[in-house]
Structure 1
Amino acid sequence: MRAALYPGGGRPIVIESLPNPRPGPDDLLIRVDRCGICGTDLSMTKGGMWDYGANVQFGHEYAGEIVELGSNVEGFRIGEKIAVLPSVACGNCRQCRAHGNNVLCQSSPSKAMVGFAELASVPATVATKLPSTLSLADGALIEPLAISLYGTKFASIAPGDRVLVLGGGTVALYAIYWARRLGAGRIVAMSRSARRKDLALAMGADAFVAYGEGEIGEVVEALGGPPQVVFEAVGAEGMLSKAITHADQFGRIVSLGFCTAPDPVIPAIASYKCVSMQFAVGYSMKEFVYIADQMDKGHVDPKAIVTNVIGLNELPDMFATLRGPNEETKVHVRCNAS
């Protein structure tokens, strides 16, 4: 099979021919149809402190069709469409018992971040069946939708809450999507440029504000008051401070951006506002199952953010494109297309 490999050390992605994987007794072998390129993939393959490692397969936003069942697998059939939760949990450690968040498991028995490949063997425990109403393109969006849903719930949005979302990428757009579905009042999206303004409005934002002088007043005017909830979904230095600056007194800030560099804040400013700040990563199987069941019942098609679909052989060039100025939002790779 063909698969994408990261050589390590920030070197370019390569497409290699590898032996076809074989499913273990508790695994499913799937033909991968779609795998989305995530901002994490870009940051974890640039050779910094946070890195996937050397000569590793990767790709974690994927869906495919079952082509073979492990000998112990029950409840699945060949030909069924599934989405994959790419973090495998042991189910027994303290983190698994307390939180059910697979990403927090400290004793993971195996990995399932192998989506940029024609075939993938994955534990049946991390497979979510797709209803007949959903396509495999829908399935490849469940993982980023789950990240935003899991994090958005930390804000405990009350009906009518004023919400500000910092950022215009996938996580930010889906934070808008969930905030709208969870009962937010007015929602403002804020980013450096208006390139994704239309997408933000389609996902459920009421207004768009660009960073710059007067942004605080513009946000207050658009929301009818300072935001009671702020989602930081940029992951760049200075964004936590910006979130604090915008938040109302006793506002709730949820960081979804996963910044990997120091991001200083001035505690006194936060203290005078009595704001609370929550950091979130990952998701549980509950989010995956819920999204698979509810995805076609939302106020907008989540596939609206997909701006390009490419073949696996085009992946290295697309990584280079996404590292510079570009017009893409979510790029999907058709792993069994040239």
Structure 2
Amino acid sequence: MKVVRFHAPGDVRFEDVPEPEAGPGEVKIRVRNCSTCGTDVKISKFGHHHIHPPRVMGHEIAGEIVTVGDGVEGWAPGDRVQVIAAIPCGECAECRRGRMTICPNQVSMGYHFEGGFAQYMVVPKEVLKVDGLNRIPEGVSFAEASVAEPLACALNAQNLARVGDGDDVVVIGSGPIGCLHVRLARARGAARVFLVELSRQRLEMAANLVKPDAAICAAEVDPVEEIRKLTDGRGADVIITAAASGKAQEQGIQMAARQGRISFFGGLPKDKPTITCDSNLVHYRELTIVGANGSSPEHNKQALELVATGAVPVADLITHRLPLDGAIDAFGIVERGEAIKVTIEP
């Protein structure tokens, strides 16, 4: 079968490998969609310390079951499924407390296990053990289901930042995650959602789809001042930094209202992980700064339901659909910011 496989930084190949078979406790699926994200671009260029090549890439996975391994119950060939990306152990102290997103033993599809840029793949027993294989609701396409994984990550972040009724929310970064954050914040009852982005072209592409209450180009104006103007000097209740930018995190603190919540959603480059924080702003405004790390199996289930009910539409965010042999080209499209969401259809 055909796969897209990482061999070394800068060496990703479209190639033939033997078709896998499901072992005990496993499920084999025919991959129908595996969507791409910025992490795929980083892996293709720089590798990852959890990836021991060669490794089939791809972690935003949806498909249909082909065969079920011995000992697997409740699943049958033809079932339409979505696969979690981050796999908690389900047994450690954090998992037992319901904190699966911060499981210290977490492993991942496309990193520790073969991923979804393939015609067929095996869902490992580790996924089934934590109830991480999810039925795709009726009326939800495979492509939409593949976007449930990044939506689940956004859901985790907005839960932690307590996004809710009447909030003014700022999303910094207008990539696919930023667009999902805008729509999710609206679904959670935000009064207004503002979108901030450095690239005018990317901002307009995203704003035309998700229709924020204001679209602010940070290359042209001071976004902190703009948010203050839009909120009559008060600042925003929630700021989500959906960009790998230390400056965005610093600006997020500055534009927060009293008792505002700042979500550091986008991680920073490992060679520059620190920012300057005005601690007095945090102290006197009683601000909350919270991280967000991936999603749990339950978040994935909730994300699929949000898509199924229409609360968070995702179909129009998929701007590019490419065959499996176009996956390497897709990384370039993502890196250049020419798309919102690119999905691969093996």
- TM-score by length of structure 2 reads 0.88
Q: Which secondary structure state, in structure 2, belongs to the residue aligned with residue 164 of structure 1?
A: strand
Which of 166, 170, 188 is matched with 2:176 structurally?
Answer: 170
Alpha-carbon spacing, 1:250–1:293, altered in 2? closer, same or farther (3 Å): closer
RMSD, matched Cα: 2.3
What code does the residue aligned with 2:245 have? A
Counterpart mapping for 1:18-33 below 5 A: 18-33=17-32
Q: Which residue of 2 aligns with 1:318?
A: 330
Q: Which residue of 2 aligns with 1:215?
A: 223
What code does the residue aligned with 1:78 have? P
Q: Which secondary structure state, in structure 1, belongs to the residue aligned with residue 246 of structure 2?
A: coil
Q: Aligned partners of 2:60 and 2:237: how far apart in 1? A: 31
Q: Which residue of 2 aligns with 1:152?
A: 158
Shift of 1:328: 1.2
Shift of 1:215: 2.8
- Mean Cα displacement is larger for which, 283-292 or 109-118? 109-118
Q: Which residue of 2 aligns with 1:265?
A: 276
1:24-45 per-residue CA deviation (whole Å, 9 max, x = no partner) reads 2111100001111111111233
Q: Which residue of 1 aligns with 2:195?
A: 189
Counterpart mapping for 1:228-247 below 5 A: 228-247=237-256
Q: Aligned partners of 2:278 and 2:224: how far apart in 1? A: 19
Counterpart mapping for 1:1-338 below 5 A: 1-8=1-8, 10-47=9-46, 52-101=51-100, 104-106=103-105, 108=107, 111-112=112-113, 114-122=115-123, 123=125, 124=128, 125-194=131-200, 195-197=202-204, 199-200=206-207, 202-203=209-210, 205-211=212-218, 212-224=220-232, 225-261=234-270, 262-268=273-279, 269-299=281-311, 301-323=313-335, 325-335=336-346
Shift of 1:70: 0.9
Asked if the contact 1:86/1:113 (under 8 Å) is kept, the reply is no
Identity of aligned residues (%): 26
Shift of 1:121: 0.5
Q: Which secondary structure state, in structure 2, belongs to the residue aligned with residue 5 of structure 1?
A: strand
Q: Aligned partners of 1:30 and 1:36: how far apart in 2? A: 16
Q: Which secondary structure state, in structure 2, belongs to the residue aligned with residue 13 of structure 1?
A: strand
Q: Which secondary structure state, in structure 1, belongs to the residue aligned with residue 257 of structure 2?
A: coil
Q: Which secondary structure state, in structure 2, belongs to the residue aligned with residue 132 of structure 1?
A: coil
1:64-102 per-residue CA deviation (whole Å, 9 max, x = no partner) reads 010001111111121111000022332111222123425
- Mean Cα displacement is larger for which, 292-301 or 13-22? 292-301
Q: Which secondary structure state, in structure 2, belongs to the residue aligned with residue 283 of structure 1?
A: coil
Q: Which secondary structure state, in structure 1, belongs to the residue aligned with residue 87 of structure 2?
A: coil
What code does the residue aligned with 1:11 have? G
1:253-272 per-residue CA deviation (whole Å, 9 max, x = no partner) reads 01111223323123334444
Q: Which secondary structure state, in structure 1, belongs to the residue aligned with residue 224 of structure 2?
A: helix
What code does the residue aligned with 2:256 have? A
Shift of 1:115: 0.8
Asked if the contact 1:251/1:276 (under 8 Å) is kept, the reply is yes
Asked if the contact 1:88/1:112 (under 8 Å) is kept, the reply is no
Q: Aligned partners of 1:214 and 1:319: how far apart in 2? A: 31
Shift of 1:145: 0.7
What code does the residue aligned with 1:17 have? D
Alpha-carbon spacing, 1:108–1:333, altered in 2? closer, same or farther (3 Å): closer
What code does the residue aligned with 1:87 have? A
Shift of 1:294: 3.1
Shift of 1:329: 1.5
Q: Aligned partners of 2:345 and 2:328: how far apart in 1? A: 14
Alpha-carbon spacing, 1:197–1:154, altered in 2? closer, same or farther (3 Å): farther
Q: Aligned partners of 2:205 and 2:334: how far apart in 1? A: 20
Asked if the contact 1:310/1:334 (under 8 Å) is kept, the reply is yes
Task: Provide structure 1 residue ranges, at least 5 long, that are not aligned to the other structure.
Answer: none
1:230-263 per-residue CA deviation (whole Å, 9 max, x = no partner) reads 0011012322111112112221101111223323
Q: Aligned partners of 1:49 and 1:109: how far apart in 2? A: 12
Shift of 1:22: 1.2
Asked if the contact 1:104/1:282 (under 8 Å) is kept, the reply is no
Q: Which secondary structure state, in structure 2, belongs to the residue aligned with residue 77 of structure 1?
A: coil
Q: Aligned partners of 1:204 and 1:103: how far apart in 2? A: 33
Alpha-carbon spacing, 1:223–1:201, altered in 2? closer, same or farther (3 Å): farther
